[in-house]
Homo-oligomer: A and B are copies of this chain.
Amino acid sequence: MLTNYDRLLKGQVDEALTFIADRFEGYLAADPQLSFQMAAYVHGRLVLDVYGGPHMAADSLTVPYSTSKNTAGLVVGLLVQRGLLDLDAPVADWWPEFATGGKERVTGRQLFSHQAGLPETEPMLEWDELLDNRRAADRLAIMRPYWRPGSAFGYHAITIGNLADAAVQRTDGRTIHEFYEQELRRRIDTEFFLGLPDELDDRLVPLLPIVPPLGEAPAPTSYHPLRDVAFGPRPGKDVDLAGSEKSYRFGHPAGSATTTAHGVAKLLAGAVTGIGEADPILDAETVAVIGEQQVRGFDEVLGQHDRAHSIIFQKPSQQLAFGSARSFGHDGAMGALGCADPLTGVTFGYTIVRGPWPGGADPRAVRAAREIGMAGL
């Protein structure tokens, strides 16, 4: 039963989740600049749709950084469901140019679970290439991997999106943008865009940079060989992934989609649980395939322990405990989160204008997503 909430926090909330709304009301009271949206479905029924703070309206759109990857993960799932992509076949079966540099036997499963050693090209992709999937794919195809494929995994922060486009183009024929728009976004009727339409420009809210707490300096980052490879300064004309029109107009499937929190939750509901009486776009078998954990442990690129991935998506971990062992999703560097839990039926979205230090999913949102699953709705 949805009720209206109209204090600092505004929107609709199922009565059973009022405790979560109240907690976020408290966050808004304590921090006058906090501005976010949060939404959730349970088994396809909207149970939460709220927003608050001076920088967010109900329909504000933001760039959720890597939460964008939820689009690419669902797209790859749909390719699998339609029999266009066999995750256990060599990538070279559908991408002949890929069969070089020791990648001859790399499978789709390895490629889309961050095991192929292609977190970047060498030298780094320029901005113009990054925002042009064909050019990025051509450069990635000829790369020698940064580690023996299958022997390790490491976050392909950006390239996973270009690689997902290659899979769509070479198996379906459309671009990932066309495929996603026609097969997922429009069918589900959700405002989670790969490429912001011109006419929505005035709803776009720019992100604000994350700021360390007063007196806290950035932790001295210990050196890890691949971190610079993947996160060093990118060559080419200065582009900001979230802030530059060139980037969000393109809509990079790994990092510069545009969405509301509701848009994230609705996309995942339409694909994973179905909305209302409608069947989900992905069948249960496909949901199991894209949610099955492929790797867990030390991330070769981030230099962090206890990271885990299924197909493109993140799996929950101690630091990112958004749901049950069956759940999957993706957070964003600036605080956003999208996740789905087939066990509890929860699909969840969260966007924020200025995420908390030091970045990654806002822990307040992670906790909310987990608690909605435990509420037994």
Contact = CB atoms under 8 A, between A and B. Distances in A.
B292 A222 contact: no
Interface in A274-325: 288, 292-298, 300, 303, 305-306, 315-318, 321, 323-325
Interface core residue of A225, A296, A305, A370 (most chain B CB under 10 Å): A225
A139 interface: no
Given A318-B223, A318-B224, A325-B146, A296 B292 contact: no
Contact of A306 (B294, B295, B298, B370): B298
A225 B148 contact: no
A370 to B, nearest CB: 8
Contacts of A152: 293, 295-297
A303 B318 contact: yes
B148 A293 contact: yes
B102 A292 contact: yes
Contacts of A321: 223-225
Contacts of A147: 292-293, 296
Given A147-B293, A152-B296, A222-B318, 15 more contacts: A144-B288, A146-B293, A146-B325, A146-B326, A148-B293, A148-B294, A151-B296, A152-B297, A223-B318, A224-B317, A225-B316, A225-B317, A225-B327, A297-B298, A298-B306
B325 A226 contact: yes
Contacts of A288: 101-102, 144
Contacts of A145: 292
Contact of A300 (B146, B296, B323): B296
Interface residues of A, number: 41
A288 B147 CA distance: 10
Contacts of A224: 317-318, 321
A89 interface: no
Interface string A207-238: 00000000000000011111011000000000
Given A146-B325, A225-B324, A298 B296 contact: yes
Query: Chain A's interface: helix, strand, loop or mixed, by majority?
Result: loop
B292 A325 contact: no
Of all A-B residue pairs in the complex, the 4 with the closest CB atoms, nearest first, are: A147-B293, A225-B325, A223-B321, A225-B316
Interface in A121-167: 122, 144-148, 151-152
A343 interface: yes
B293 A151 contact: yes
Contact of A151 (B144, B222, B295, B316): B295
Nearest to A144: B288
Contacts of A225: 315-317, 321, 323-325, 327
A212 B125 CA distance: 47
A227 to B, nearest CB: 9
Contacts of A146: 293, 325-326
Contacts of A298: 296-297, 305-306
Nearest to A230: B325
